[in-house]
Amino acid sequence: MGWRWIFFRITYACKKKTGCFSLKNKRLLSKSMHINWERLVSKIDLGQLNITDQSFKGDHSFIEKADQALSGNIFSFSSHYLNYWENGQLAWNINPENRRKAPLDKPWNKISDFGDFGDIKLIWEASRFPQVFYFINAYSLTKDNKYAHGCIRQIVDWCRRNPFPNGPHYKCGQEIAFRLFSWMIALDFFQNFVSNESKTIILRNIYISILRIDINIDYAAKSVRNNHSISESAGLIVVAVLFPEFPESPRLLKKGLSYLKKELGYQVYDDGAYIQHSMTYQRLVVDIVSFVLFICRKQQISLPIEITRTHHKMMVFLLSFMQKNGWLPNYGNNDGTNLFPASNADYRDFRPSLNFAAAVSKKTTPTDEPGERGICNLLGLTNNSLLPDCYENAFKDGGYYILRNSKCFGFMRAHTYKDRPGQCDMLHLDIWYNGHNIFCDSGSFSYNSKSRKIDGFEGTGGHNTIMINDADQMNKAGRFGWSPWITARVLHFSHQQIVAEHYGYQKLYGVVHRRSVRMTRNGFIINDRIMGTFDEIKIQQIWNTQNQAVQMDACSLRVKKSLIHSNIKGRVEKTYISNSYNHYSRGQKIIFETIQNKACEIETIIAFDHFNQ
C-alpha cells in the first residue's frame, strides 16, 4: 500500500489513542449548540429540496415490506428480513441474528468494527433506512397515512436514541452518507407529514452528521481508498447543495467536489473498470455519482467535466457485462448495497441503476418497465427510450476480457494487480447461455462470519479456475487482504479467443497456469496448461454452478441441457453460492482432478443444448 499509507495509519492510530477525535466530537457538539435552530429551521422549506416526483406510483410488492418495517422487521440487503424489534420499539444498535448489541454509551471512535456483537453491517443495515423506499412505495399506492407517519417517526426515533457522538452509527462516514440520502428523499416526499418539532430534530442530526463526515473524510481518502471516500464526498456535496442555509455549506460543497473529482480520478481506471474489482461496488459508485449529478443539475450547480466523463465510462463498463434480464456476473466482493431500492427489480438486476445513470447523463433515457425504472420514476425522470446499446469486449486496464455471440457469453479475469485485490480469482471464467449464469462466481456471503462453510467464497475454490494442492493463488493477509499480489499476462485476445497466464503458484510450487478459452457457436473449449518444473502436485479444475450437475460418465457431466466434458476424471461436490450479502444457498462444484509431476494439459468442452430434453 506504500509508505504514505503506512504513515497515515500510524498517525491515525495515535490520534485515536490520544483523544484527538474525542476533542473533535466536543467541538462539533459546541458548534451545533451555538446555532439558533429555531431561526435556521424557519428558513428551510422542505419543498426546496425538489427531489422526488409527488405523483410517483410504486409497486404492490412493497406493501408487505412496509407493513413489516413498521414493526421493525426490515427487508435487508435486498434479499431477506432481519428483525430489529425489541420491547416494543426498534433497537437500532442490535445485531438481529445473535441479538447482541453495540454500545450506545461509547463515542464512535472507541467502538471496534469487530466487537463481540458480530458483523457490524447487520447492525448498520436498518440505519441505512432502506425502509424509506418501502414506505414511499406503499403510501403512493394506498395513500394510507400510517406509512408516512411511520417513516418520519422512525427517523425521529433514530435521532433521539442515537445522539452524537455515541454509538456504532457514527463510526463510518459512508454509512452516514447513505442514511442522509434516504432521509432527504423521505423529507421531500413526506414533507406534508413533518411537524416543526420533527423537522428541527432531523435537521440538527443532518447538520452534525455531515460535520462528522467532514472531520474524518481523510481516513476514507487516504487509508481506505475505495467507495467510502466517494460516498463521503457525495454526502458533503448533496447536503451542501440541498441545505445552503447551513453555515458550512459553501465550504463543504467546494471540499466535496474537490475530493470527488480526485477520488474518481484515482479509483476508476482509464477503461472504466473500478479499483475494487467488483461489479456491485462499481454499481454503487455509479449510483452515488448519478445522485450527485441529479441533485446538482436540479439546483443548477455545474460539475467538473472529469466527474461526468468518469461516470459515463463506468456506465459503459457495466453495460458491457449486462445480460438481457439486467443481471451481471456475481464477480468480486459484494456487501449487499442497493442504494436506491425503489422498485421490485431483483437485487442482481442492474437496469434500475443503469437507467438512472443514462437518464442523468442525458445519453439515452430509461425504458418504461416499472421494475427497470426504479429510482427514475421516483425522481421524475420519465422519458421513455431504451438503454444505450454500447459495450466493449476488452478492458485491459481492469483485466476483464469478454467473449460473446448471440447466445453465449463468457468473461475471463486476467490482471496484474496494481491495487488491493478483493478475492483470489485469477483466470476465473464466468459462463452464461441465453442469459443464464451456468458457471458462476460463488459470491462473498459475509465479511465477518465465523462459519467454516463460507471459507471458500473469496478463495480460489470459489471461482472457476485451476487450484493447485488445495491452496489459494495468494495468501490471506488480514481480514480483507491478500499477499503477494498476483501477476498475470494476456498473450492473445480476439472476439473468439483469449489466452492468458498467471504466476500465483510459481513461487510456491514452480507452476505457471496458462488458460486458453475459445468460443464456439454453441459453447466453449477451455485448455488449461500447467507448466513449469515441479514435484508431484494435485491439480483441480473447478466449476461452480447453481444448477443441478448429473454425472454421465467418469469425464462427463450434464448441467441442465449442457454437457461439460474433460480429458480427466471429474466429480461433483456440494458447495454454497451467495447472490447477496449475509445469504447463501446450496450449489454444486464440479471438480476435474489429476495428480501430475510434469507439465500437462486439461482440455474441457462445454456444449450448450447438447441434450434434446
C-alpha gyration radius of the chain: 25
Contacts of 477 (CB under 8 A, 6+ apart): 483
| Domain end among 162, 197, 216 | 216
- pLDDT at residue 6 tops 90: no
Query: Can you tell me the mean pLDDT for 501-522?
Result: 95
Number of domains in the chain: 2
- pLDDT band for 366, please (50, 70, 90 cuts): low
Query: Can you tell me the mean pLDDT for 10-28?
Result: 86
Q: Which residue do the cell numbers 494442492 mark?
A: 469
Name the pTM for this structure.
0.94
Contacts of 207 (CB under 8 A, 6+ apart): 32, 35, 243, 246
- pLDDT at residue 403 tops 90: yes
- pLDDT at residue 481 tops 80: no
Express as a percent the part of the chain with pLDDT over 70: 95
- pLDDT at residue 451 tops 80: no
Say which amino acid occupies 410: G
Q: Are 564 and 545 in contact (CB under 8 A)?
A: no
Query: What is the structure's pLDDT at 364?
Result: 59
| Average pLDDT over the chain, rounded to an integer | 92
Q: Are 458 and 576 in contact (CB under 8 A)?
A: no
Higher-confidence position of 476 and 152: 152
- pLDDT at residue 388 tops 70: no
Instruction: List pLDDT tens digits, range 204-241.
Output: 999 999 999 999 998 888 887 889 999 999 999 999 99
Q: Which residue do the cell numbers 421516483 mark?
A: 378
Give the residue from 473, 466, 462, 469 showing the smallest Cα distance to 589: 462
- pLDDT at residue 511 tops 50: yes
Q: What angle do CA 583, 584, 588 make, to 5 degrees?
A: 175
Query: Can you tell me the mean pLDDT for 516-537?
Result: 96
Q: Which residue do the cell numbers 441505512 mark?
A: 128
How far apart, in whole angstroms, are the C-alpha atoms of residue 184 and residue 203?
10
Please report whether residue 32 resides in a domain: no
Give me the sign of the Cα torsion angle 103, 104, 105, 110.
positive
- pLDDT at residue 420 tops 80: yes
| Domain end among 216, 234, 259 | 216
Query: Can you tell me the mean pLDDT for 118-122?
Result: 91
- pLDDT band for 96, please (50, 70, 90 cuts): very high
Give the residue from 286, 329, 327, 320 showing the smallest Cα distance to 391: 320
Give the residue from 506, 513, 534, 509 showing the smallest Cα distance to 597: 534
How far apart, in whole angstroms, are the C-alpha atoms of residue 175 and residue 567?
50
Give the residue from 355, 325, 358, 329 showing the smallest Cα distance to 342: 355
Q: Classify 396 as helix, strand or coil.
A: coil
Query: What is the structure's pLDDT at 452?
Result: 45
Contacts of 33 (CB under 8 A, 6+ apart): none
Please report whether residue 78 resides in a domain: yes
Name the residue range of residue 200's domain: 59-216
Q: What angle do CA 47, 50, 54 make, to 5 degrees?
A: 85
CA–centroid distance for 168 within its chain:
21
549: domain CATH number is 2.70.98.70
Helix axes 173-189, 196-219, angle to 10 degrees: 150
Please report whether residue 132 resides in a domain: yes
Query: What is the structure's pLDDT at 15?
Result: 80
How far apart, in whole angstroms, are the C-alpha atoms of residue 573 and residue 554?
14
Q: Which residue do the cell numbers 455471440 mark?
A: 405
Higher-confidence position of 355 and 115: 355
- In 419-473, which ranges are E strands? 429-433, 436-439, 466-468
Higher-confidence position of 480 and 410: 410
Please report whether residue 120 resides in a domain: yes
**Which 8-state DSSP code applies to residue 386?**
P
Higher-confidence position of 5 and 568: 568
How far apart, in whole angstroms, are the C-alpha atoms of residue 126 and residue 239?
21
Q: Are 342 and 137 in contact (CB under 8 A)?
A: yes
Looking from the CA of 186 toward its CB, the CA atoms found within 13 Å total 31
- pLDDT band for 369, please (50, 70, 90 cuts): low
Query: What is the structure's pLDDT at 461?
Result: 92
Contacts of 88 (CB under 8 A, 6+ apart): none
- pLDDT band for 334, please (50, 70, 90 cuts): confident
Cell of 601: 494439459
Cell of 142: 394506498
- pLDDT band for 21, please (50, 70, 90 cuts): confident
Length of the chain as a residue count: 613
Please report whether residue 41 resides in a domain: no
Please report whether residue 352 resides in a domain: no
Helix (H) or strand (E) holding 579: strand 570-580
Please report whether residue 458 resides in a domain: yes
- pLDDT at residue 311 tops 60: yes
Q: Are 220 and 232 in contact (CB under 8 A)?
A: yes
Please report whether residue 519 resides in a domain: yes
| Domain end among 216, 248, 274 | 216
- pLDDT at residue 448 tops 90: no
Instruction: List pLDDT tens digits, range 262-273.
Output: 999 999 999 999
